[in-house]
Structure formats: C-alpha cells, structure tokens
Structure 1
Amino acid sequence: MIDSEPTSGNAPGASPQQSPIGDLKEPSGVVHDKNEVPVVVYSRARGPIAEMTFLQRSLLFAELAMVSYNDEREAAEAARFVGFPDVTFFEHDGSQAYRFRNDDDCVIACRGTEPNEWNDIRADANAAAVLAETAGKVHRGFKTEVDDLWPMLETALIGNDLPVWFCGHSLGGAMATICAGRCFLSHIQSIPSALFTYGSPRVGDKRYINFVRLDHYRFVNNNDIVTRTPPAWMGYRHCGTEVYIDRDGHIGHLDALQKRHDRWRGFLKGIRRFRIDHFSDHPLHQYLGPILEAARREQVELARGDDAVEAAELTR
C-alpha cells in the first residue's frame, strides 16, 4: 500500500516530503547481504508514476533496473523500500525479469548482462539479425532472450489494468525494448506508458525501430561502449530519445561535434585515472549517480517554487 497521498512532482513549492518520490536526501532503504555490496535505494513511490517529474521517473526506473540484478529475496526487500510490495520473478533458460507492482503502477524490469552467466554472454555475442515478431530485423541474441520470457510476461500482463512501464540496463535494456514493442502490438489491455533504458545496445534495423513508436528514453553515459554495439555498419540503429550524460556527470543535449569533444576528453580523463572509459562508463552505478544528483537538485528547485525539468530540456 502507498503510505501517502499522491502529490504532483511538478507542484511549485512542494516540499521533498510531499514529493511523489519521497525525500532524496537520504536512502529510502538499504539491503545488506553477506559478502555483497549493499543495495541502496533513494526513491520511494508515493503515488502514480505519471505524476512524477521526468528526472524522478528516470531515477525510479534506474533503481528498479538495479534491483533486478539481485536475487528474489534482496529484490523483494529493495522493491518494498521503493514502494512496490508486489514482486514477481520470471526466469527461463537464464533469461530473467521482474514485475514490480503497487496500487498505481506495474513495472517490468529486465535483468542485464551478468559476466558469469554464459547465457548472457552468448546473447550479447549472437549479433546476427533475424526477423522480429513485429517488423524488420532484430539482434538474434536479444530476441532469443525475450522469446524465452515473453510467454510468461504476456500471461502476467493480460489481466493487468494498471499503467505498465518497462526498464532495463545493458542487455536488460535491449530486452525491455523488445518486450515493450511486443506489448504495444499485443492484445494486452495496458499499452506501455513509457520505456526507460540505460546503457542499452542497438536492438534492430531501421524498419524495426520505425515500426513501433513508444515514449522511449535511452540514457547514454559518455563513452559507454555498449551503446555503440552492434555496429551501425551491420544495419543496426538506436531507437528512442537519447538522454546524454557527459564526462562530468551532467545530463543534457550535445550536438555531434560537442559530443565528440566530450567523449575525447572523457577518454583522456579515464586514462589519467588508469581506466578505459569505454568500459568504466557502462556499469549502472555510473548512470545512477548523475541521475540522483540531478533529481536532488530539481527537488530543491521545486521546493523553492521553480518548475520541474522537462525531458525536452535535456534532449533537444
């Protein structure tokens, strides 16, 4: 159950305590497990996701994508902190996803690549294009992962009368993209409200990405190499609206020349820290940090009576 009345995230003068995502100054919960890094979440859904600001949604879905990497016990505990007490885990032949649900919304979060899982490595590497269930062609490995899960997800969503949202990081972002497209074209009552992906690879060809038009926000962190695969020369294209995070963690639109300059400087910055930026920019925490800071700044501005940050301000 939701423990407070819904309050619009765009309401000028709204205090952090009134925010539909809660006060972001302190974690909403921490899940500890022996020999593992604690799962720390900051968002807490206090009303419909549709009433949140763009940055609040971006943080919520990034955290749920993070939660999806955990086992069922940890994920259920973390999801309760975030405001989703109803958690269902789906798995088939190594393909995995969670359904997070509360009184207002239903979220499908697909689990991303785990380096020690052969099924995930095989899916990433199997880059041949095959016919999609919708139109055009998609990455064979990503499609296979979704083929394993979709019958279970479709069954779980058939009777859903809540707004449904999709999210995921890395391979999970690619899977969420395909799942959202299938949901949009299926007989499921609830069409996807939006899709949020983080560090997602390219999924399909031009015909595929133009066939299904969804509200899709695709976060790209500076030099993240996964977002540049599979290569465009193989016919793959990105879908959705890019939300770019620069080398200093600022979220905003850059033109092609500015982005090239920023990526080069990000690469040099990584070298000075003895790391390869193309790989170190991919982990989900590299996305979560900048999004959390942006959402915190917005929360302060909202409390002062300023307007919320619109998606168009960060993507145009």
Structure 2
Amino acid sequence: MTIIVIGKSGQLAWELAQLSTPSQAVVCLGRDDIDLQDVAALVKTLKQHKATAVINASAYTAVDKAESDRENAYLLNTEAVGHLAQACKCLAVPFVHISTDFVFHGDKGSPYLPSDEINPLGVYGASKAQGEQLIADIYPKHSTIVRTSWVYSTHGNNFVKTMLNLMATKPDLGVISDQIGTPTYAQGLAKACIASIAQQVTGIHHYTDTGVASWFDFAVAIQNIALELGLLDTKIPLKPITTAQYPTAAKRPPYSVLDKSSLVNALPELSLMHWQTQLRVMMIALKAEREA
C-alpha cells in the first residue's frame, strides 16, 4: 500500500510519516509536489505515486486571519477538498479528510455527535463545513471525515510549545478558561486515520483524546509536567481569564467537546487515552528531542 498524505509541513502529516512501513508506505506531498486546484493534475500525481489511499492533512488553519483572508481559506478548505474528492473518486481509492470542532456553534453543552447540526461561527469553520459537504456530494461511499480539536505534536507550532516558550520568558500568564474542549495528541490522530483506511471506515466521525479541559486547564497541566520533566525551571503564576478579556478577530465555540463513540465502535482496537496521559507522552518525547 502507498498512502498519500496531502500536507508535508504540518504536525499531523509529520506524525503520519512516522507510521510509514515497508509494507505500507506513507508519502507526504506539499504544495510544491501537488496542485490542489487541478483535478487532472491531482489524478496524474496520485497515479504516479501508485496511491492506494489519500489522507488530507492540509488546511488553512489561521482562524483569525481567515476572517480577512476569506478567499484563500475557502480555496484550501473547500475547493481543494472537492478536487481531492473528485480525484480519489476517479481512482476509486479511499479518502480520509481531517475536519474540525469549529463546524459547531458551541452552545450544545454536551459532547457533539457526528450527526449534530453544524453552525460555524466564523470563516474557518464555515470553509471547513463546506469542504465536508463537497465530500458528501462527490464521494460519500469511500470517504471518511474525521473531526478533531486542539491538536498538538512535538513537531510544528501548537499550544503546548507556545505555552512552554511563554512560561520560560514571562513573569505570569493569563489563559482563557471559558472555552471548553479536548486536547488531541496528533500521534493518536494519525494512528486513527491509518486504522480507518485499514478497516474501510466511512462517514463522519470524531477523534480526540478523552476527557474535558479549558485552555487554562491545559496550560496548568503543561506547566506541571514541564516542571516535573525539567523542561521548565521556574513556576510562574497562571491566571484564568475570559474570552471577553482576550478579544480575537474570529469567534470560537465556547464548548466543543466531541463524542467519539461512532469511531470507537467502528474501530474497537482503537485505544483512546486521557488527554493528560497523552500530553505527558508528548512532552517526554519533546524532552528527548531537545536533549538529542
């Protein structure tokens, strides 16, 4: 098998690349390797690589910038997704697409099911929602949409690494405490994507680690583990702040915990772990990388 990952520099693409084996190669293609705006060119490139499945790990993820850069957000999160779905349909290969908790409004108050109504608050969520709809219209029989949230990895830019940098340089830090969701280690998400292909899972599903947290809870855990592992030398005061105290261009869903039952049922061998357990695993790996 040759699984083609659309995306090369992102943290999920990097984690997927680590899962490559002689019998199941994972090949990551970046913007210089593939043209997402030309279906014929996409088909040609996928044929050249003898693709047996495609995972779309690319996206326009600058949530605030998307509000003023609407055209580019829709170009990558909607139009390119439709082109990928068409190309995969032409080649009759499975297509796994990564989507987001931002397709939801955030006012439900209990974990969102894949079947719940979507109602995005901003351009990023709306562009991702329309990408999902194109997949449903073009290639529903052999496509899988996996919504996730708060993704981090040892690779790339993410909340964990940003917090570590700020905690090492700031005397104190305010972190939002009224947005609730679940952190997700990209390594586990990558394994879920590969398993979905192997087991021929289709439809819309959710994947995150287990448990619930605010960004403030997440930051507290990051600091505690970092101090324990020696990634930080000094503890600084962390104070909870509200979304209103930290205005941004784009609105975020105040509650976006995702119900993972459908994917667990489809992949009974999938081992879900609590976000704090996964955070520790990632930070141990990060320490090892920094010491190497």
TM-score bracket relative to the smaller structure: 0.3 to 0.5
Report the TM-score, using the length of structure 1 for normalisation: 0.33
Greater relative contact order (Cα < 8 A, sep 6+): 2
